[in-house]
């Protein structure tokens, strides 16, 4: 029942907002209350979780196509639920200081997408997964279309088509897989995972499935929608896209590729890791050359995602746990970074780092908050990203040492572009915007950033709080994989 | 049979009502009659029976299709009084001709004999030639009528030629005899191949399948919008039903499959590609109807005959697909007419701008119907497309289906372009006037599309 509530609470709140269009303050309050309620619910699920897969609700929908309404979660799903539950209150909270457009509509759209995202992470039936997967896209589409920046129409349509292409490839695969199950067909993940598909099928099926998730994350070379969309989108939209929706890709890889076509995945493993690492390096280099702060964060997100994908595809315990653990860390990081970019935009009216500089003297507290976040971004020890990065590199090393070696410039690059950005914005000679009426970070902004930064340190010091979630499922997955030659 | 008679008599009755100048009574009489026909069909549901010595055979498939066509006709008629409010003369003929055309459509769902096929196509088409020219003083309307008539006459000739060749082969018009001949003597004879080729050409013309689709955009564009709505919905359903029966009873012989693959690929490709750049909403809907014909053909392609294979499944899928497509299309056309009036007769898809600001619920209805046509989950259009893809995979047409998936993506693009307009602000204030009845019809279409999407078993076809 509480699983259904996770989907229904945001849905109900969004419907109320849509139907009655309350004033901005009420709308935000209601949205925040709803997201906090769902966060408490996810915490409750975490607290009561006993380590096994929980099935909360199972109802037949269209039995002829194996379509069933099954909601449940295992450790990995729970991690994703926690991520969604944790981050949405902050994403809604962003609207207080950095409002866009009609508050009732914006919050309604955000809540709709949250509802669908919960659905994605709880669906235990491939068909249901697909439905939520597509539904999560529609509110974001409107958010971008209405309140995006320059060239919003063209960029939004491109983003939409790109992701739908992936979605249709996924649908194709699900339809094919369902028909392979013994009659009466079932699209439940358990039934699909029990399929022992012949190797040649797995080889092509891997790609039709991978396409969907590679676009969503995104992984090089399927990324070309991402930087522009992240830059153009309103801050809250970018947060949902980068912090939560990108994780659908990671989750999908574990669920579909590892669970259903393990042999195919093992066959393409090296190729995909190479792609991911190329993408990570490439995005890192581009991030270094950016003048636009939001765009820099967008590329840094892509760089991190590339590394996470590479780590997942090592298909060993270190790599997979590291990649999954990092999903949460990356989500928290993205919300922080985009929030700070928004704060700076609010004060200076620009994202152009060339026009900033020397702002630290005017805004010391903002500078401190930024520093702490940057610490997390470059994986300083004691921050949340450090254990994740360590695990991921360990995983890569175990597979092929050269892969971990390729990752070393990545660490350097990440530190360089983040610190360089910090320097250009806050240090050095005062830029042209330094003369503006700048006020330092205020109480509300601390209220949003401090808890997130606190989480980074708590999890950084006690990574096991998160890692224990994925421990058992990862070992279960490892049993599925064919032994390495 | 009684329903068929009822509809024909109803057409004549409507003409008489018009003769006595009771324009206000036309639609009510028509609606009551259609409701009566629905009742007659509904009571005979699940009772297969043959008529006219086996020339017609009403089974679950034809009853279902007839009911669906009647339901859509009902929607058209409900919008009729509003649409024809400003037309003084000859309104009765419009209703009557639609009813006659509907009779032809019902024949097409149930024929078991090639004579009935021919009769059905003709009864369906001839009223449409007149209807397309319904706006007597509009150049476009006259162009549409003439084009439709000339090309339609050619298509009929093809069909007749095909039937004649098949008759020459078997010595009978009966479809059962033809099927038996194919089963026994194989598909080697040239008579059979040419016969099938010509019959398929005639049917593909009616369906608007590429390369026999050239009339579709011009006729849809030129004809009065209510007639376009009727053609895009009821006539489309009748055509696909007729096509299905031909394919199903003959059991998909080899030459037929080869023609169908080409038709399917071409229709999906050309329909979707051409729709991409359309800015006139009626032409866009015309190409959208071509592209949907392509997806229906894909389902048809997967048919291997009711006797031996999945024919029953294909029939159900086609019924579901065409009905939900018709529901969304009908609702959108009404919305289009409302927007067109608000913008002084403009037909560019930008006329929908400002709808969300002034009538948000209407815009959401429009969105739901567009998403259904595009095939986004939780709408009926998605369920329909998914079922088609399942059939295609089951029949081993993996590559054709992969191509279909790509084409579906293109389809999403042009529907989303229209959906975008629904939510854009307009430069100057536009007032959309929606009468309660029109609002109700649009809401009914939307609810139907959503309900069938969330709960596909509702129509009882998938147990």
Residue corresponding to tokens 């660490």: A411
- Copy the structure tokens of residue A456: 């980074």
As a whole number of angstroms, the distance between CA A27 and CA B7 comes to 54
Label residue B463 by pLDDT band (50, 70, 90): very low
- Copy the structure tokens of residue B70: 């009647």
Label residue B3 by pLDDT band (50, 70, 90): confident
- Copy the structure tokens of residue B37: 């026909």
Residue A390 burial (10 A CB sphere; 0-12, 13-18, 19+): middle
**pLDDT tens, position by position, B389-429:** 888 988 888 889 889 988 988 888 899 889 888 888 887 78
Triad B196, B199, B204: Cα angle to 5°: 115
Chain B environment of A135 (Cβ under 8 Å): 377-378
The whole-number pLDDT of residue A441 equals 81
Contact A211, A223 (CB under 8 A): no
Mean pLDDT of all residues in B254-262: 88
Distance from CA of B378 to the nearest CA of A (A): 7
Max intra-chain CA distance, chain B: 69
Tell me the β-bridge partners of B341: none
List the one residue out of B168, B189, B166 whose CA is nearest residue B179: B166
**pLDDT tens, position by position, B320-354:** 999 999 999 999 999 999 999 888 888 888 888 88
List the one residue out of B398, B131, B441, B372 whose CA is nearest residue A201: B398
The whole-number pLDDT of residue B104 equals 94
Triad B238, B241, B244: Cα angle to 5°: 150
**Dihedral sign of CA atoms A323, A327, A330, A332 in order:** negative
Contact B37, B70 (CB under 8 A): yes
The whole-number pLDDT of residue B48 equals 72
As a whole number of angstroms, the distance between CA B327 and CA A472 comes to 49
Q: What is the mean pLDDT of each run of 10 residues along chain A (485 residues)?
A: 89 90 89 94 90 85 84 90 93 88 89 94 92 90 85 86 89 90 85 87 92 89 87 89 91 91 91 92 90 90 92 90 91 92 87 83 87 90 90 91 86 90 86 77 86 91 87 82 63
B190 touches chain A (CB under 8 A): no
Contact B407, B351 (CB under 8 A): no
B341 touches chain A (CB under 8 A): no
Q: What is the ipTM of this complex?
A: 0.84
Contact A139, A37 (CB under 8 A): no
Which DSSP state fits A245?
I
**pLDDT tens, position by position, B208-247:** 998 899 999 999 999 999 999 999 999 999 999 999 999 9
- Copy the structure tokens of residue A74: 């295992």
The whole-number pLDDT of residue A437 equals 76
Q: Which of B378, B413, B423 sits opposite A131 (nearest CB)?
A: B378
The whole-number pLDDT of residue A465 equals 85
Domain housing B8: 2-459
The whole-number pLDDT of residue A330 equals 92
Look at B376 and A138 and tell me if their CB atoms are within 8 Å.
Answer: yes
Which residues 6+ apart lie within 8 Å of B74 measured at CB? Answer: B31, B34, B35, B38
Look at B413 and A179 and tell me if their CB atoms are within 8 Å.
Answer: no
Mean pLDDT of all residues in B425-453: 88
Look at A175 and B390 and tell me if their CB atoms are within 8 Å.
Answer: yes
Tell me the β-bridge partners of B174: B113
Distance from CA of A228 to the nearest CA of B (A): 19
Contact B109, B61 (CB under 8 A): yes
Element (H, E) at A78: helix A75-97
Residue A350 burial (10 A CB sphere; 0-12, 13-18, 19+): middle
List the one residue out of B293, B390, B289, B379 whose CA is nearest residue B330: B289
As a whole number of angstroms, the distance between CA A134 and CA B382 comes to 11
- Copy the structure tokens of residue B423: 């939510």
Chain B environment of A172 (Cβ under 8 Å): 389, 401-402, 405
As a whole number of angstroms, the distance between CA B267 and CA B272 comes to 8
Look at A165 and B409 and tell me if their CB atoms are within 8 Å.
Answer: yes
Chain B environment of A164 (Cβ under 8 Å): 409, 412
Residue B171 burial (10 A CB sphere; 0-12, 13-18, 19+): exposed
Contact B362, B335 (CB under 8 A): yes
The whole-number pLDDT of residue A54 equals 86
As a whole number of angstroms, the distance between CA B404 and CA A15 comes to 35
Q: Which of A64, A131, A157 sits opposite B462 (nearest CB)?
A: A64
As a whole number of angstroms, the distance between CA A24 and CA A14 comes to 14
As a whole number of angstroms, the distance between CA B211 and CA B160 comes to 19
Domain segments of chain A: what residues? 1-260, 262-485
Beta carbon pairs, A and B, within 8 Å: 59
Look at A175 and B389 and tell me if their CB atoms are within 8 Å.
Answer: yes
- Copy the structure tokens of residue B259: 């023609």
Max intra-chain CA distance, chain A: 72
Label residue B45 by pLDDT band (50, 70, 90): low
Residue corresponding to tokens 């058209």: B76
Chain B environment of A171 (Cβ under 8 Å): 386, 389, 405
Total domains, chain B: 1
The whole-number pLDDT of residue B269 equals 94
Look at A164 and B409 and tell me if their CB atoms are within 8 Å.
Answer: yes
Which DSSP state fits B111?
B
From residue B44, give the alpha-carbon distance in Å to each of A331, B62, B334, B380: 60, 11, 32, 26
Label residue B462 by pLDDT band (50, 70, 90): very low
Look at B416 and A62 and tell me if their CB atoms are within 8 Å.
Answer: no
A361: number of Cβ within 10 Å: 12
The whole-number pLDDT of residue A90 equals 93
Chain B environment of A180 (Cβ under 8 Å): none
Q: Which residue has the higher pLDDT, B309 or B376?
A: B376
Contact A119, A69 (CB under 8 A): no
Q: How far apart are the first and last CA of chain A?
A: 45
As a whole number of angstroms, the distance between CA B7 and CA A446 comes to 73
Rounding to the nearest 10 degrees, give the CA dihedral for residues B382, B388, B393, B398.
Answer: -90
Look at A175 and B408 and tell me if their CB atoms are within 8 Å.
Answer: no
Chain A environment of B416 (Cβ under 8 Å): 141, 157, 160
**Residue A52 φ then ψ, to 5°:** -115, 170
- Copy the structure tokens of residue A93: 């909270």
In this prediction, what percent of chain B has a pLDDT beyond 70? 97
Q: How many helices (H) and strands (E) does chain A have?
A: 21, 2
Q: Which of B389, B412, B413 sits opposite A172 (nearest CB)?
A: B389
B361 touches chain A (CB under 8 A): no
Q: How far apart are the first and last CA of chain B?
A: 28
């Amino acid at each position: 029942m509480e699983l259904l509530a996770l989907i229904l609470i945001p849905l109900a709140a969004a419907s109320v907002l849509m139907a009655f269009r309350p004033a901005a303050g009420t709308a935000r309050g209601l949205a925040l209350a709803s997201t906090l309620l769902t966060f408490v619910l996810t915490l409750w699920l975490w607290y009561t979780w006993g380590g096994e897969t929980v099935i909360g609700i199972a109802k037949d929908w269209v039995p002829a196509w194996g379509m069933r309404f099954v909601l449940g979660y295992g450790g990995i799903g729970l991690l994703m639920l926690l991520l969604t539950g944790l981050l949405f209150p902050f994403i809604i909270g962003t609207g207080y200081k950095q409002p866009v457009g009609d508050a009732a509509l914006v919050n309604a759209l955000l809540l709709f997408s949250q509802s669908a995202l919960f659905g994605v992470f709880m669906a235990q039936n491939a068909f249901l997964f697909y439905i939520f997967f597509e539904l999560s896209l529609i509110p974001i589409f409107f958010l971008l279309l209405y309140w995006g920046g320059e060239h919003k129409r063209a960029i939004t349509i491109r983003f939409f088509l790109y992701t739908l292409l992936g979605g249709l490839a996924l649908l194709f695969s699900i339809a094919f897989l369902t028909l392979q199950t013994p009659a009466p067909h079932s699209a439940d993940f358990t039934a699909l995972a029990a399929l022992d598909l012949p190797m040649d099928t797995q080889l092509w099926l891997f790609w039709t499935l991978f396409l969907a998730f590679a676009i969503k994350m995104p992984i090089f070379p399927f990324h070309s929608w991402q930087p522009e969309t992240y830059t153009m989108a309103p801050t809250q939209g970018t947060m949902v896209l980068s912090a939560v929706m990108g994780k659908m890709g990671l989750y999908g890889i574990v669920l579909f590729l590892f669970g259903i076509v393990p042999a195919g995945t093992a066959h393409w493993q090296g190729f995909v890791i190479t792609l991911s690492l190329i993408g990570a390096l490439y995005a890192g280099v581009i991030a270094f050359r950016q003048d636009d702060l939001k765009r820099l964060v967008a590329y840094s997100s892509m760089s991190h995602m590339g590394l996470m994908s590479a780590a997942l595809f090592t298909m060993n315990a270190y790599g997979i746990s590291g990649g999954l653990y990092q999903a949460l860390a990356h989500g928290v990081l993205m919300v922080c970074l985009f929030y700070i970019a928004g704060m700076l935009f609010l004060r200076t009216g620009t994202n152009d780092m060339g026009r900033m500089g020397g702002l630290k003297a005017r805004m010391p507290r903002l500078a401190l908050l930024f520093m702490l976040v940057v610490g997390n971004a470059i994986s300083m020890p004691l921050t949340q990203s450090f254990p994740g990065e360590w695990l991921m590199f360990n995983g890569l090393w175990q597979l092929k040492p050269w892969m971990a070696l390729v990752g070393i410039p990545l660490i350097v690059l990440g530190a360089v572009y983040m610190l360089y950005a910090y320097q250009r914005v806050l240090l050095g000679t005062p830029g042209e915007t330094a003369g503006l009426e700048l006020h330092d970070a205020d109480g509300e902004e601390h209220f949003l950033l401090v808890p997130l930064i606190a989480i980074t340190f708590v999890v950084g010091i006690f990574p096991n709080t998160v890692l224990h979630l994925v421990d058992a499922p990862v070992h279960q997955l490892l049993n599925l994989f064919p032994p390495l030659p | 049979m009684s329903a068929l008679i009822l509809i024909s008599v109803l057409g004549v009755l409507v003409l008489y009502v018009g003769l006595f100048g009771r324009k206000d009574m036309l639609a009510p009489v028509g609606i009551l009659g259609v409701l009566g026909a629905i009742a007659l069909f509904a009571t005979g549901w699940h009772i297969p029976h043959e008529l006219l010595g086996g020339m017609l055979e009403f089974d679950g498939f034809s009853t279902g299709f007839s009911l669906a066509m009647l339901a859509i006709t009902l929607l058209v008629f409900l919008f009729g009084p509003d649409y024809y409010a400003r037309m003084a003369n000859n309104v009765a003929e419009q209703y009557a001709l639609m009813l006659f055309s509907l009779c032809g459509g019902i024949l097409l769902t149930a024929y078991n004999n090639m004579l009935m096929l021919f009769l059905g196509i003709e009864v369906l088409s001839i009223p449409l030639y007149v209807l397309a020219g319904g706006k007597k003083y509009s150049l476009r309307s006259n162009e549409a009528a003439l084009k439709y008539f000339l090309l339609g006459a050619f298509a009929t000739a093809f069909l007749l030629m095909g039937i004649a060749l098949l008759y020459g082969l078997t010595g009978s018009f009966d479809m059962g005899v033809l099927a038996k001949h194919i089963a026994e003597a194989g598909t080697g004879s040239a008579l059979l191949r040419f016969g099938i080729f010509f019959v398929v050409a005639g049917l593909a013309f009616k369906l608007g399948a590429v390369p026999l689709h050239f009339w579709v955009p011009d006729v849809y564009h030129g004809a009065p919008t209510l007639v376009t709505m009727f053609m895009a919905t009821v006539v489309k359903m009748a055509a696909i039903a007729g096509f299905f029966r031909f394919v199903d009873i003959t059991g998909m012989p080899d030459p037929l499959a080869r023609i169908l693959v080409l038709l399917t690929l071409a229709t999906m490709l050309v329909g979707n590609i051409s729709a991409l750049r359309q800015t006139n909403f009626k032409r866009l809907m015309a190409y959208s109807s071509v592209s949907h014909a392509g997806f229906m053909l894909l389902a048809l392609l997967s048919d291997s005959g009711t006797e031996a294979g999945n024919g029953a499944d294909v029939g159900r899928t086609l019924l579901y697909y065409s009905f939900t497509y018709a529901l969304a299309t009908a609702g959108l056309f009404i919305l289009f007419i409302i927007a067109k009036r608000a913008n002084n007769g403009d037909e560019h898809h930008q006329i929908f701008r400002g709808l969300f600001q002034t009538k948000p619920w209407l815009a959401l209805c429009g969105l739901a119907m567009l998403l259904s046509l595009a095939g986004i989950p939780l709408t009926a259009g998605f369920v329909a497309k998914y079922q088609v893809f399942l059939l295609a995979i089951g029949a081993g047409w993996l590559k054709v289906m992969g191509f279909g998936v790509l084409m579906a993506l293109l389809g999403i693009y042009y529907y989303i372009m229209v959906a975008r307009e629904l939510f854009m602000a307009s430069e100057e204030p536009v007032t959309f006037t929606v009468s309660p009845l029109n609002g109700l019809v649009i809401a009914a279409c939307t609810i139907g599309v959503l309900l069938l999407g969330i709960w596909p078993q509702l129509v009882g076809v998938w147990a």
